[in-house]
Amino acid sequence: MNSQPPSKIPEEFAASAGYMLNQTAQVIAEMVTEALKPLKLAPQEYGVMRVISISGPVSQQTFADRYNIDRTMVTGLVDGLEKRGYVDRQRSTTDRRVNLMHLTPLGKRALTQAVRSVKKAQAEFLAPLTDEEWEATRLSLVKLLEAHRPI
Amino acid sequence: MNSQPPSKIPEEFAASAGYMLNQTAQVIAEMVTEALKPLKLAPQEYGVMRVISISGPVSQQTFADRYNIDRTMVTGLVDGLEKRGYVDRQRSTTDRRVNLMHLTPLGKRALTQAVRSVKKAQAEFLAPLTDEEWEATRLSLVKLLEAHRPI
DNA sequence: TATTGTTATACTCTATAACTATA
DNA sequence: TATAGTTATAGAGTATAACAATA
């Protein structure tokens, strides 16, 4: 959707890992935020639902660890999702301190839509790269993250 | 400095451009922030000084554009740097609305140190990759950024 | 009229600590 | 004692609008 001819980034910036990663992360974050806006989902709310759907019912603490945010933030996220009927909390029977978050059928349907929108945004974001280029980039990012942030 | 064996990122997350870029960007941002802390420089302050040193005296608006922040934020950044004697504002003679930001000799010395620290942090961050892997990754990021954020 | 820089305001985000209930 | 979740508070960061000076 960008019809202007792309201009060159000064090489000193292009050489900076911090600048390049932060700027590109900001671009995709904006695109995903926009993609989720019609569904009235914030990126972090989408994150909650994705984590549940992928990893099965998880505790709020587990989600906080995975997204590297504080557990005090998760309370409000789940509140909002529960109010909309997308998620519910169920006390763990094996450790009754723990709230296991579950996707409701309504939440599953909303998530299906959201995943579709996010995938579309991601495809648009990655369009300038060949599949091979992105795959190589992705693998490097995985290496970096696994080395520096073991879960 | 990470002696634990790195654990696997679930493939659904590893497949997500948004998740991977945001998480890796967060890691490098934290490392750079730490590296600059002894010099009492915030990453954005470092950014101001780098931009001036690379692009020559620039207006506050130009910096805001390059780092994708609002110009109202720049005022405070420059205030702090000016107070420490690292930067000064000079009214442009050709357009007297514009403040051109200059590095002072003291600022130049501080920046030299800061660049050294940031480069060290970056090298540590990139250590898990071969030079070729990072170069390929970097080029992909440049493509993405030039396509989506023409300056 | 539009743009640069400044200021003030309000809002959002996040970090911290304290509390409860469990383990 | 330690952990999961909640709540309240304060602080940082940011967005917005309005203004003066200049184009």
Strand D closer than 7 A to residue A60 Cβ: yes
In Å, how far is B108's CA from the nearest CA of chain A?
17
Q: What is the DSSP string of A48-94?
A: HHHHHHHH-SEEHHHHHHHHT--HHHHHHHHHHHHHTTSEEEEE-SS
For residues B57 and B79, the answer to whether their CB atoms sit within 8 Å is no
In percent, the amount of chain B with pLDDT more than 90 equals: 87
Residues B103-118 have a mean pLDDT of 97
Cα A27 to Cα A24: distance, rounded to the nearest angstrom: 5
Which nucleotide has the shortest C1'-to-CA distance from A78?
D5
Strand partners, A146: none
Rg (chain B; Cα; Å): 18
Note the pLDDT tens digit of each residue in B23-71.
999 999 999 999 999 999 999 999 999 999 999 999 999 999 988 899 9
Residues found in chain A: 151
Query: What local confidence, expressed as pLDDT, does residue B149 receive?
Result: 83
Residues B111-120 have a mean pLDDT of 97
Q: Test B32 with A18 for CB contact under 8 angstroms.
A: yes
Query: What local confidence, expressed as pLDDT, does residue B133 receive?
Result: 98
Which ranges of chain A have pLDDT less than 50?
Answer: 1-5
Nearest to B17 among A2, A66, A122 (CB): A122
Query: What local confidence, expressed as pLDDT, does residue B4 receive?
Result: 43
Q: How far is the CA of B120 from the C1' of C8 (A)?
A: 40
Helix (H) or strand (E) holding B90: strand B87-91
Q: Test A26 with B136 for CB contact under 8 angstroms.
A: no
Q: Name the residue with higher pLDDT: B138 or A9.
A: B138
Query: What local confidence, expressed as pLDDT, does residue A54 receive?
Result: 93
Note the pLDDT tens digit of each residue in A104-120.
999 999 999 999 999 99
Strand D closer than 7 A to residue A97 Cβ: yes
Phi, psi of B89 (to 5 degrees): -95, 135
Query: What local confidence, expressed as pLDDT, does residue A6 receive?
Result: 57
Contact residues on chain B for A136, CB-CB shorter than 8 A: 133, 136-137, 140
Q: Test A22 with B6 for CB contact under 8 angstroms.
A: no
